């Protein structure tokens, strides 16, 4: 009987040691990141949570007049996968003050360049690469209506789509797998999507000329 109790105490003590070790040790990091936020976190947030985060950044801007707060809000908005069309409901929180400050186009272009450069970076991890691809994908989607209107008279939206197209960025095998697993999407690169948009424009203009 005593041996049985001693044995149970040893088992319990061993289990406690494992739990203590697990709690005290730091979880392994999957990869380093330069991004303040990533798609994998944003995709689980609902409308109220996204609105709150972006309003906090807009409030920071009003208090400090530091445009970086608005740029951070723009990244928050565009790095979230948009299957539920949430961008349409939140982008005004950041777009309006950026336009009022004359910073909308420069901020978007800066984010485009950051995303293109990020995808091309050799040491970037899959989650960051997918985050940048989501940003570009959302910009292409948001700019598509204006791009169509600009077929005959290119404007800022056309310039950004062309910039994404000629950058010829390609996702790594790991990033493509990440997209398929967590977004249920193919690994098409943003550049390929942009090139297809430009091809449709050319087809349209060719038809117009032949009339």
CB 53 within 8 A of CB 42: no
Whether the predicted pLDDT of 152 surpasses 50:
yes
Q: In this predicted model, what pLDDT tens digit does every residue of 51-107 receive, in sequence order? A: 999 999 999 999 999 999 999 999 999 999 999 999 999 999 999 999 999 999 999
* Strand residues in 133-190 grouped as ranges (E): none
The percentage of the chain sitting over the pLDDT mark of 70, rounded to a whole number, equals: 85
Closest CA to 61 of 87, 34, 96: 96
CB 160 within 8 A of CB 108: yes
Which residues touch 35 (CB under 8 Å, ≥6 apart)? 75, 79, 118, 128, 131
Q: In this predicted model, what pLDDT tens digit does every residue of 28-48 receive, in sequence order? A: 334 557 799 999 999 999 999
- Mean pLDDT along residues 135-158: 97
CB 197 within 8 A of CB 157: no
Tell me the two tokens of residue 128: 């960051």
Whether the predicted pLDDT of 188 surpasses 70:
yes
The pLDDT value given to residue 10: 42
Question: Phi and psi dihedrals of 33, rounded to 5?
Answer: -145, 145
Number of H helices, E strands in the chain: 11, 0
The pLDDT value given to residue 31: 52
Whole-model pTM: value is 0.83
- Please tell me which residue, 33 or 174, carries the higher pLDDT value: 174
Tell me the two tokens of residue 76: 């928050």
Distance from C-alpha of 165 to C-alpha of 185, rounded to nearest angstrom: 20
Whether the predicted pLDDT of 18 surpasses 60:
no
Whether the predicted pLDDT of 129 surpasses 50:
yes
């Amino acid at each position: 009987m005593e041996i049985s109790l001693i044995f149970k105490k040893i088992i319990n003590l061993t289990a406690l040691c494992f739990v203590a070790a697990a709690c005290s040790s730091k979880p392994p990091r999957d990869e380093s990141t330069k991004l303040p936020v990533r798609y994998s976190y944003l995709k689980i947030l609902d409308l109220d949570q996204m609105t709150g985060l972006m309003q906090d950044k807009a409030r920071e801007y009003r208090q400090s007049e530091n445009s970086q707060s608005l740029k951070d809000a723009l990244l928050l908005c565009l790095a979230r996968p948009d299957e539920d069309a949430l961008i349409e409901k939140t982008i005004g929180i950041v777009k309006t003050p950026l336009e009022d400050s004359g910073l909308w186009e420069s901020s978007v272009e800066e984010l485009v360049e950051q995303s293109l450069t990020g995808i091309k970076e050799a040491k970037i991890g899959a989650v960051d690469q997918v985050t940048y691809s989501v940003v570009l994908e959302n910009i292409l989607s948001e700019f598509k209506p204006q791009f169509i209107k600009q077929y005959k008279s290119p404007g800022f939206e056309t310039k950004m789509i062309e910039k994404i197209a000629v950058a010829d960025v390609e996702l790594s095998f790991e990033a493509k797998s990440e997209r398929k697993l967590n977004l249920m999407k193919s690994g098409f690169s943003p550049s390929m999507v942009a090139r297809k948009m430009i091809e449709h424009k050319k087809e349209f203009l060719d038809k117009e000329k032949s009339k």
